[in-house]
Amino acid sequence: MASSDAEAPGLRPWILMAPALGAVTLLLAVPLCFIAVYSFWLRTAVGSEQVGFHLDNWIEVLTDPFYRDILLQTLRIAALSTLCCILLGYVPAYFIARSKTRHKALLILLLMLPFWISYIIRTMSWINILGVSGALNAFLLWLGVIGEPLQILYNEGTVILGLVHFLLPFMILNIYVSLDGIDPNLVDAARSLGSTAWQAFREITLPLSLPGLAAGSLLCFVLGAGTYITPLVLGGPTDAMFANLVFEAIITQIDWPLGSALSLALLVVLGAVVMLYTRYAGIGQLAKSFR
Amino acid sequence: MTTTVHTPVAKDTDAAAGGLRRAAGGLVTGWSLIRAFTVLVYLFMFLPVAVVVLLAFNASQFGSFPMEGFSFRWFVALWNNEAIVRAFKTSLLLGALTALVSTTLGVLASLALVRYDFRGKSLITTSLIAPILVPEVVLAVALLLFLRALDMPKSFPLLLLGHVIFTLPFVVLIVQARLVAVRREYEEAAMSLGANAFHTFREVTLPLIMPAVFAGIIFAFTISFDDITGTLFWKPGGVETVPTQIFAMLRNSISPEINALGAVMVGVTVAVPLAGAAIARRMAAALK
């Protein structure tokens, strides 16, 4: 196969890529095909699987209002969390990008820090704050505002709170990367031509930062919609998200075919969001945060 | 007559000055509002974790407020808790192996992607990044089911494979970004002086991309060390990593021991990258 042409790369790049490509093929591509096949199998009463082409799982997943409601609830929670991340994240990203002080490096370092702090720790930390014997209740009791502890935790609000806390650094980082790439001369030019600070922001800075905002939103939405830990730790019994159904089916009920159909459904829905995004923005923007 | 000519001018300058003053005033207060908001958001990000660390030193029986003095008793309790020590060892081993395998695969693949031209390159780049685009739950189910179809039970190697596959894209992205910035001329010079491809890589390319390799190792380690989403699916019965151990302990109620374990986790996952960054900086300085 090696080409006689000395300039041609020949087999070398393929040899270099083989282990990684092999890993992705064997550990991701082939397994995904497997769940596609499994989703058409059936679980029998004895707990073993019945091989074949049955649409039962898919009919159940697509028509049962229980699954539809949880899917909608999942999308709603992910969308609200993303929205909160945008509202909370834009201003700090702007501040970091525009500040010329020595604090800038520190702020960026601090921004990276949550990525290193365990997700489960950050999630459970809210129990210490909002729990019945948490900081907030202890404070309110001490003030005498309330007579007995409030039940603040374990509802959809706290699930969103936990997700925002987990996802916010992704949003800030992506917006910051895009704001930092804007030529400051553009804003100066607009100002010298008579626009107000607000106009310059609205007409120049904001539109130019939209790619980062979009990349951050995509990450937050997809990561948020795919979680099952946050609802388990901070949600009540009715606050299940779609990934909880997958976990239930696979780990608790050991119903592989149903679990496969559920996870494929989740993959398709979130895949459609990613597709929609790449159609308009391109996947390259996501990689920028690593530079 | 003259007044009617001058008045508008005077008004204009007044208005302009007022506008400037307003603009300057607006800028100052606007900027301090932005700063205050930023401080609040940072507090939101860090305060809950700080409370975990604080409560880890609580002398009280219960893992909650009010604080009843300062004590290390919960750290001692951790040290004597066999299950937690075992989980810690599992996590460290898993993280280290994941970092080793994932970084090796990632560096080799990045070399191919950056240094060579071949057909289907963009497709391959996308497929190497694909594991972060697939929700981790789906990835977990797929891998678990595949190995089950092959009649392989849940095991430590399965955990390792799973962790490798979802840390690989991060390593590829980091190393690729660095490799693009390394000029080809250095490698070509070595080659023209008679070094073969392997020598060139070991003596020229690798030292130049070492900071990125190091970053890849640390990324892979911390992602693996922190992971719970996939791990809960893949872990064999009886094997716990630190995050799954914490998760299992949360099922009961929040105890001071969990806070102490959280504090240790924060210590490890923050200290490792900081130490790594220091080493990487020293390496980069040595190169100059």
Residue ranges of chain B with pLDDT lower than 70? 1-28, 62-66, 253-254, 287-288
- Closest alpha carbon within chain A to B36: A92
Q: Best interface-test mutation with A: which of B35, B42, B137 has the largest number of A CBs within 10 A?
A: B137
B100-B103-B104 Cα angle (round to 5): 80
Q: What is the pLDDT at residue A131?
A: 86
Partner B contacted by A11 (CB < 8 A)? no
How far apart (Å, rounded) are the C-alpha atoms in residues A32 and B191? 42
Q: Are A127 and A121 in contact (CB under 8 A)?
A: no
Record the tokens describing residue A127, joined without a space: 């129990």
User: Residue B70, CB half-sphere, CA atoms under 13 Å: how many?
Assistant: 2
Find the CB nearest B127 among A24, A263, A267.
A24
Record the tokens describing residue A202, joined without a space: 């609205």
Structural domains for chain A: 39-290 (1.10.3720.10)
Cβ-defined contact of A27 to B134 (cutoff 8 Å)? no
| Min Cα–Cα distance to chain B from A10, Å | 9
For residue B144, list chain A residues with Cβ-Cβ distance below 8 A. Answer: 250
Cβ-defined contact of A168 to B117 (cutoff 8 Å)? no
Cβ-defined contact of A283 to B126 (cutoff 8 Å)? yes
The residues in A 88-127 lying below 8 A from B, measured between CB atoms, are 88-89, 91-92, 94-96, 107, 110, 112-122, 124-127
Find the CB nearest B135 among A29, A129, A266.
A266
Q: What is the pLDDT at residue A133?
A: 81
Q: Are A96 and A104 in contact (CB under 8 A)?
A: yes
Question: pLDDT tens across A111-139, in order?
Answer: 888 877 889 999 999 998 998 888 888 88
Cβ-defined contact of B44 to A165 (cutoff 8 Å)? yes
| Min Cα–Cα distance to chain B from A18, Å | 8
For residue B38, list chain A residues with Cβ-Cβ distance below 8 A. Answer: 91-92, 95-96, 107
Q: Are B58 and B71 in contact (CB under 8 A)?
A: yes
Partner B contacted by A199 (CB < 8 A)? no
User: Which positions ≥6 away from A8 have C-beta within 8 Å?
Assistant: none
For residue A264, list chain B residues with Cβ-Cβ distance below 8 A. Answer: 138
Question: pLDDT tens across A97-110, in order?
Answer: 988 777 788 888 88
pLDDT bucket at A5, cuts 50 / 70 / 90: very low
Q: Please tell me the pTM assigned to this model.
A: 0.85
Q: What is the pLDDT at residue B205?
A: 87
- Closest alpha carbon within chain A to B265: A118
Q: What is the pLDDT at residue A216?
A: 92
Q: What is the pLDDT at residue B65?
A: 66
For residue B51, list chain A residues with Cβ-Cβ distance below 8 A. Answer: 125, 128-129, 135
Find the CB nearest B66 among A107, A138, A197.
A138
| Min Cα–Cα distance to chain A from B3, Å | 28
The residues in A 39-78 lying below 8 A from B, measured between CB atoms, are none
| Min Cα–Cα distance to chain A from B1, Å | 31
- Tell me the DSSP string of chain A: ---SSTTS-TTHHHHHHHHHHHHHIIIIIHHHHHHHHHTTSEE-TTS-EE-S---HHHHHHHH-HHHHHHHHHHHHHHHHHHHHHHHHHHHHHHHHHH--STHHHHHHHHHHHHHHS-HHHHHHHHHHHHSTTSHHHHHHHHHTS-SS----SSSHHHHHHHHHHHHHHHHHHHHHHHHHTS-HHHHHHHHHTT--HHHHIIIIIHHHHHHHHHHHHHHHHHHHHT-SHHHHHH--TT---HHHHHHIIIIIS--HHHHHHHHHHHHHHHHHHHHHHHHHT-THHHHGGG-
| Min Cα–Cα distance to chain B from A8, Å | 9
- Closest alpha carbon within chain B to A169: B45
- DSSP structure class, residue B155: -
Question: pLDDT tens across A191-237, in order?
Answer: 899 888 889 899 889 999 998 999 899 989 999 999 999 999 999 88
CATH number attached to the domain at B74-287:
1.10.3720.10
Q: What is the pLDDT at residue A291?
A: 52
Q: Which residues of A200-225 are buried (b: 16+ CB within 10 A; e: fewer)?
A: bbeebbeebbebbbbbbbbbbbbbbb
pLDDT bucket at A86, cuts 50 / 70 / 90: very high
Q: What is the pLDDT at residue B125?
A: 86
Percent of chain A with pLDDT over 90: 45
- Closest alpha carbon within chain A to B223: A116
pLDDT bucket at A283, cuts 50 / 70 / 90: low
- Rounded to the nearest integer, the mean pLDDT of chain A is 87
Question: pLDDT tens across A48-60, in order?
Answer: 777 788 888 888 8
How far apart (Å, rounded) are the C-alpha atoms in residues A19 and B165? 11
For residue A87, list chain B residues with Cβ-Cβ distance below 8 A. Answer: none
Find the CB nearest B270 among A116, A120, A267.
A116
Record the tokens describing residue A172, joined without a space: 């800030």
Q: Which amino acid type is present at position A264? A: L
- Closest alpha carbon within chain B to A234: B250
A144 has a pLDDT exceeding 80: yes
Q: What is the pLDDT at residue B230?
A: 93
Cβ-defined contact of A12 to B197 (cutoff 8 Å)? yes
Cβ-defined contact of B128 to A89 (cutoff 8 Å)? no
For residue A113, list chain B residues with Cβ-Cβ distance below 8 A. Answer: 46, 270
For residue B52, list chain A residues with Cβ-Cβ distance below 8 A. Answer: 121, 124-125, 128
Partner B contacted by A226 (CB < 8 A)? yes
Q: Are B98 and B221 in contact (CB under 8 A)?
A: yes
Q: What is the pLDDT at residue B200?
A: 87
Q: Are A211 and A182 in contact (CB under 8 A)?
A: no
